[in-house]
C-alpha cells in the first residue's frame, strides 16, 4: 500500500465498517445502541461481471435478513450500477425486483443511491417503476444538479421518498452548480420544498448551516424526516440531535473497494477534509 493510500485508509476506516457483512452489522449494533438507525451500503459500482452482481445482490439480501436477528433498525442503500445498470436498465430493474421481494419479507427500507448525471434518468425511471409496487423505497436527489428541482417536483407528485444530498460526482458546468454558495442555496431551496410538500425524507448532510436550517423548518412543519450522516463524522453533534428528539440514521459503508469511495467523499467538499481531520484527531486523542 502506497504512503498516500495508507494515510487515506487511516482516515477512511473511521467511516468504513470493514470488509465483511459482519463488520457492517457489528457497526450497526453500536449505532443502534447509541439511538440511531442505520443505512448499510456495500462499496463498489459500475459492475458488469455476472458473478460480482449476483454476489452483491446476495449480500444485500443477507443483510436485510439479519437486521432482526442482530436487533438493528436498518435500511440498505444500493447503487444501480452495482446491480446491472451498466449492462441494461432492464437487468438492473429485474435485480432490484429481487431485492424488493426480499425487503418485503423483512419490511426493510431500500434507498436507491444516485450516481453521476449520466444515470439520473434511468435511476428515476427504475424508482418510479418499483415505487408502484413497494412503498418502503427512497431515492437520492443531488442539490448540485440544475435539474433537481424539476425531478423533486415529479417524484413528490407520485409520493416519492427523498434523501437530499449535495452530490459527490464530478460533473460538467452545463449540468451542475459549481460554487459551494450556489449548491448550498439550492440545497436549502429543495429542503424547503421537502418540508412543504414531502414526507418521510432524509436530510443527508454534515453541514452545520444546513442542519440548523432543517431544525428551523421542522419547527413550523410537522413532517416525518431523519438526519442522515456518515458513521464517524460529526459524532459530537449526533447525540445532541437525538436528545432534541430528531431521528438520525448513520450511513455505514463496508467492503474492500474503499479507495474510490473515500477519494470521492474527500473531493465532494473541501470542508469534508476539515471535518474528517477533526474527527480523526478527536478519535486519536480519545475525546
Helix, coil or strand: residue 56? helix
Per-residue model confidence (pLDDT) at position 280: 47
pLDDT means per 10 residues, the chain with 287 residues, are 70 84 96 97 95 98 96 96 97 98 96 96 98 96 97 98 93 94 97 96 97 98 96 94 98 85 64 51 44
Residues 39 and 115: their CA atoms lie apart, in Å, by 17
- List Cα–Cα distances, 234 to 104, 192, 237, 255, 272, in angstroms: 32, 23, 5, 22, 10
Residues 234 and 251: their CA atoms lie apart, in Å, by 12
Per-residue model confidence (pLDDT) at position 147: 97
Which residues sit opposite 111 in a β-bridge?
77, 138
1-23 b/e (C-beta count within 10 Å ≥ 16 → b)? eeeeeeebeebbeebbbbeebee
Is the pTM higher than 0.85? yes
How is 156-219 classified by DSSP, letter by letter? HHTT-EEEEE---S---TTTB--SHHHHHHHHHHHHHHHHHH--SEEEE---HHHHHHHHHHHH
Residues 142 and 286: their CA atoms lie apart, in Å, by 35
- For residues 226 and 203, the answer to whether their CB atoms sit within 8 Å is yes
Per-residue model confidence (pLDDT) at position 277: 52
As annotated, the active-site residues are 113, 163
Amino acid at each position: 500500500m502506497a504512503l498516500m493510500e495508507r494515510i487515506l485508509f487511516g482516515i477512511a476506516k473511521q467511516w468504513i465498517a470493514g470488509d465483511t457483512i459482519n463488520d457492517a452489522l457489528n457497526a450497526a449494533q453500536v449505532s443502534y445502541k447509541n439511538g440511531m438507525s442505520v443505512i448499510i451500503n456495500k462499496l463498489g459500482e459500475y459492475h458488469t461481471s455476472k458473478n460480482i452482481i449476483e454476489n452483491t445482490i446476495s449480500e444485500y439480501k443477507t443483510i436485510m435478513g439479519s437486521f432482526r436477528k442482530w436487533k438493528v433498525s436498518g435500511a440498505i442503500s444500493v447503487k444501480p450500477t452495482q446491480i446491472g445498470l451498466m449492462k441494461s436498465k432492464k437487468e438492473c430493474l429485474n435485480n432490484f425486483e429481487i431485492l424488493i421481494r426480499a425487503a418485503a419479507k423483512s419490511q426493510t427500507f431500500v434507498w436507491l443511491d444516485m450516481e453521476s448525471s449520466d444515470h439520473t434518468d434511468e435511476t428515476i425511471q427504475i424508482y418510479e417503476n418499483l415505487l408502484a409496487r413497494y412503498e418502503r423505497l427512497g431515492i437520492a436527489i443531488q442539490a448540485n444538479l440544475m435539474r433537481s428541482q424539476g425531478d423533486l417536483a415529479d417524484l413528490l407528485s407520485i409520493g416519492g421518498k427523498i434523501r437530499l444530498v449535495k452530490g459527490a460526482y464530478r460533473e460538467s458546468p452545463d449540468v451542475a452548480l459549481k460554487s459551494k454558495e450556489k449548491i448550498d442555496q439550492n440545497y436549502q431551496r429543495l429542503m424547503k420544498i421537502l418540508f412543504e410538500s414531502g414526507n418521510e425524507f432524509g436530510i443527508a448532510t454534515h453541514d452545520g448551516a444546513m442542519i440548523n436550517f432543517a431544525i428551523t423548518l421542522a419547527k413550523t412543519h410537522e413532517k416525518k424526516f431523519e438526519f442522515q450522516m456518515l458513521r464517524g463524522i460529526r459524532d459530537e453533534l449526533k447525540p445532541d440531535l437525538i436528545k432534541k428528539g430528531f431521528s438520525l440514521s448513520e450511513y455505514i459503508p463496508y467492503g474492500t473497494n474503499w479507495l474510490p469511495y473515500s477519494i470521492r467523499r474527500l473531493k465532494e467538499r473541501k470542508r469534508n477534509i476539515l471535518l474528517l481531520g477533526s474527527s480523526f484527531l478527536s478519535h486519536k486523542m480519545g475525546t
